Chain A
């Protein structure tokens, strides 16, 4: 994924925390809420609804 874009990206949830990029898995993982955002064909999908992991819907109201 593009390094310049990666530098700007943060978790879209309230913390806007740093993301850890896993090049092999093609994922971005929030370092605070632990949601995992997929990167598909080099395109990061920065949508809370499409993330896996992190706080469950029940816990997060």
Chain B
């Protein structure tokens, strides 16, 4: 496992319980996020994989909307919390750079601020995996920190030690990576552009008749 992957995994194992507590009211104050998840649930027929699901609150939210959502996270600590909090939802431990899922097996992929810890080359690798596991016509929703910076985060979620890099990326760069991976863009939402911590939600789909293999 690459150092950054191992560090990310250990970091989120460390903060799993606190992180889950902090997110307990999760989506209450986030109407634009909820709208995006509702759109995803409406667009997708079939399973939706929440990649980098953390404590599973979004996975559970999608299920409450009627979607066949399940979650994958690199951190066994997070998955343990996810399963405890949401016993009826399916979770697995895995890496988005090498997903343990069949080609064309899901109708939707959600990456909710999970690409933010990946270096550029790994983002490209992960997007290729998202495309591989999506069936033709399948929908991808990517949420991420907007900006253009990389910062090492050494503690978080109540002062717990962490060692992860947090990347902020411009929409144009993420869009180009998604297009290069074989996706067609459908919608782009910028969240909180007037704050120091803006975000973006990009919708795309895997075309039915794509040329890539």
Q: Do A44 and B101 form a contact, CB below 8 Å, given A5-B70, A8-B106, A49-B1?
A: no
Write the B67-95 contact mask toward A (1 if CB under 8 angstroms, else 0): 01010101010011001000000111111
Write the B94-138 contact mask toward A (1 if CB under 8 angstroms, else 0): 110011111101100000000000000000000000001000000
**A-B contacts, CB under 8 A, total:** 66
Chain A residues with Cβ below 8 Å from B156 are none
Nearest-neighbour CB distance to chain A for B106, whole angstroms, equals: 7
**A48, B94: Cα distance in complex, Å:** 9
Chain B positions near chain A (C-beta within 8 angstroms): 1, 47, 68, 70, 72, 74, 76, 79-80, 83, 90-95, 98-103, 105-106, 132
**A16, B133: Cα distance in complex, Å:** 10
A20 on interface, CB distance cutoff 8 Å:
no
Interface size on A, residues (CB 8 A): 22
A30 closest partner in B (C-beta)? B100
Whether B98 lies near A2 (C-beta < 8 A) is: no
Whether B93 lies near A47 (C-beta < 8 A) is: yes
Which of the listed residues A11, A47, A50 has the most CB atoms from chain B within 10 Å of its own CB?
Answer: A47
